[in-house]
Amino acid sequence: MNKPVAGFSKLSKEEKINWIAKEYFSTPSEAIALLKNYWNTDEKIQKLHDEFIENTITNFYIPLGVAPNFLINGKYSTIPMAIEESSVVAAASKSANYWSTRGGFKATVINTEKIGQVHFLYKGDLSKLQLFFAQNKAKFFSDTESITKNMQKRGGGILDIVLQDKTDLLPNYYQLHATFETKDSMGANFINSCLEQFAKTLKEESQHYALFSESEKEITVIMSILSNYVPNCTVRAEVSCPVNELAEKHILDPQDFAERFVQAVQIAEVEPFRAVTHNKGIMNGVDAVVLATGNDFRAVEAGIHAYAAKSGQYSSLSHATIENGIFTFWLEIPLALGTVGGLTTLHPLVKLSLEMLKNPSAKELMEVVAVAGLAQNFAALRSLTTTGIQDGHMKMHLNNILNQFGANEDERILIRKHFKHNTVSHSAVADYINNLRK
């Protein structure tokens, strides 16, 4: 039976690994060797990675690929994508090539407003609280000047603070709802620092407010935190061309393809079971670029999926129409991204990815990420409405299956030749390999 360990975080890296290997593995030496095999041979880089998080024991690799030939707003880009799923990078690249001859992708940042809230309880007269806030609003701004001065020099800062009555949701529940512009930084630390000062000002000023009774002065701040739901920090990406120009090898009847494509999107707009998988395909592209550029893909995921349900029912993030012979496919998504601060200045491959994108501003990165999501969605829907999704996906997955069976180079040549014209499945590949080896 495994035993708890005291003071684990204070152990050295070697001690942590030795304890884990001894406690959880039948052959500790093999576990230790595997963990150390993934250490970077450059001690400086390894130390950097060790300090990103706590209790680091090794590195967990995810492939960094590139999707070239993206024509975005008239300029070509090669997009870095960090992801482990087969066919995602290939699908994005295919979409890039396809649309590069049809006008390319258009992307526009709609807004860049971010949100933070101070959540508090107040048991008293609402009109008094409203008057208190109106009379002290300027104080919330002035008390944060030491925090905001550098951001203001870059054109950012606090946009507004409003008092929100949420007592219809919970008894005595109110918010200070603040909006921010953080320019090229994602801004989480900046926003949270401002919010904590708001909370401090709220508590202090309420103690001296003459109109409050003693009980009304007892404002309870529950928490001060930014929101990852940023419905006013959005970007639009789209592609468009005459329907007849959609024709290619797998699209012999472009009108029929366009109509089936639009119908597939409409199904995702009304059917949540389909919408979740539909949007997951978009996130394959979005997350891969967000991760490659050192941004928080969990925050992006949470915010985008909340946005997909803003009508009260979870729905498609992308939309498509055919109007006057023109096919248009687009999406609008919220993206709170940064190109300065955090991992962007620390992680060597993040710096490389951003340099590959010509060191974009946060707005430019929003455009690239949205385009990657749209490209991925187009590739998936094109496959679904023509050849089917599994044909291309499983052929890309073939390498993983071959690695599972330890296929040698001679076997790989024969297997790839066989499955060039046959359906790939795990069982079919297993049967073929077994027959080869008899």
Query: Any idea which residues carry the catalytic annotation?
Result: 85, 280, 296, 393
Burial (0-12, 13-18, 19+ Cβ within 10 Å), 235: buried
- Order of strands, sheet of 326-334, starting from the edge strand that comes earlier in the sequence: 106-109, 234-242, 326-334, 318-323
E strand intervals along 268-323: 318-323
The span from the CA of 164 to the CA of 119, in Å, is: 10
Identify the bridge partners of residue 240 per DSSP, sorted by sequence position.
328
The H or E element containing residue 159 is strand 157-165
Most distant CA pair in the chain: distance in Å? Answer: 92
Report the Cα 302 to chain-centroid distance in Å. Answer: 8
Nearest to 96 by CA among 341, 372, 280, 300: 372
Report the Cα 142 to chain-centroid distance in Å. Answer: 34
The span from the CA of 353 to the CA of 191, in Å, is: 26
> Alpha helices, DSSP H only, in 293-425?
297-308, 348-356, 362-384, 389-404, 409-419
Amino acid at 376: Q
